[in-house]
């Protein structure tokens, strides 16, 4: 009788422990800040519920420090005869190192005669949101080449000289276009512009980087 009682007690204890371990697991506190898209300019974002952000801190600045920018040509600024500026211009000396703001695939890295000079475009995702980063007016050495994966914070090149960038004021033009690249690697995508009649499809880069 003693042995049987003890055995039953042990079985009950084991079941209770197992239930406690597997069945009543408490949700451990996760170090994720709850934010909503209302915190940023909602026009920068596609429609859809994004209530809990899992990837905060996943996007970095391409140049440190990132500020100040060229305030006379920041995102959304209208330039006569050109249109609305679709990126942020960060004026720095030629040779200033530039780092990838987010891991992704290098879809375009070559000289572009359309006013970009040396241009790199990287396709990335953050929190299931696909986007492309446009790095304009670079120096002629860009790393890695087209079709290669780039890591967050990886060195990708420099601010180009006047000759390399085709710009009288050397600077990085940083653009964030929402959505997939939408063209074969090495092909210049139709959506890629420095100026347009509206900012539709583009995100304010400085706001975007600060948010993620
Ligand atoms: Zn620009």
Centroid of ligand 1 to alpha carbon of 86 (angstroms) = 7
**Averaged pLDDT of the chain:** 82
Q: Which residue has the higher pLDDT, 19 or 62?
A: 62
Coil, strand or helix: which one is 175? strand
The string of DSSP codes covering 90-125 is EE--TT-EEE-SS-EEEEEEEEETTTTEEEEEEEEE
Domains of the chain: 37-211 (2.70.70.10)
Centroid of ligand 1 to alpha carbon of 90 (angstroms) = 8
- Lookup: tokens for 36: 């909503």
Q: Is pTM beyond 0.85 here?
A: no
Centroid of ligand 1 to alpha carbon of 150 (angstroms) = 23
Q: Percentage of the chain surpassing pLDDT 70?
A: 75
Q: How many CB atoms lie within 10 A of CB 107?
A: 22
- Answer for the pair 106, 144: CB distance below 8 angstroms, yes or no: yes
What angle (nearest 5°) sits at the alpha carbon of residue 165, between those of residues 188 and 138? 70
Is 50 exceeded by the pLDDT of residue 48? no
Is 60 exceeded by the pLDDT of residue 80? yes
Quick: pLDDT tens for 129-162.
999 999 999 999 999 999 999 999 999 999 999 9
Q: Which residue has the higher pLDDT, 62 or 30?
A: 62
Centroid of ligand 1 to alpha carbon of 55 (angstroms) = 27
Say what the pLDDT of residue 4 is: 52
Centroid of ligand 1 to alpha carbon of 173 (angstroms) = 4
Centroid of ligand 1 to alpha carbon of 48 (angstroms) = 29
Centroid of ligand 1 to alpha carbon of 194 (angstroms) = 6
């Amino acid at each position: 009788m003693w042995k049987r009682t003890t055995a039953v007690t042990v079985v009950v204890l084991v079941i209770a422990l197992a239930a406690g371990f597997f069945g009543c697991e408490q949700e451990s506190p996760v170090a994720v800040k709850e934010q909503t898209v209302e915190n940023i300019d909602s026009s920068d974002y596609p429609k859809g519920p994004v209530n809990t952000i899992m990837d905060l801190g996943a996007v970095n600045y391409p140049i440190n420090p990132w500020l100040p920018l060229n305030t006379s040509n920041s995102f959304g600024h209208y330039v006569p005869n050109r249109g609305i500026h679709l990126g942020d211009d960060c004026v720095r000396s030629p040779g200033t190192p530039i780092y990838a703001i987010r891991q992704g695939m290098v879809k375009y890295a070559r000289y572009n005669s359309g006013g970009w000079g040396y241009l790199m475009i990287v396709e990335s995702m953050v929190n299931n949101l696909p986007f492309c980063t446009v790095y304009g007016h670079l120096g002629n050495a860009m790393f890695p080449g087209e079709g290669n994966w780039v890591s967050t914070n990886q060195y990708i090149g420099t601010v180009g000289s006047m000759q390399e960038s085709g710009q009288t004021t050397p600077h990085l033009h940083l653009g964030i276009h929402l959505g997939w690249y939408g063209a074969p690697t090495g092909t210049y995508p139709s959506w890629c512009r420095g100026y347009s009649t509206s900012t539709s499809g583009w995100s304010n880069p400085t706001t975007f980087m600060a948010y993620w």
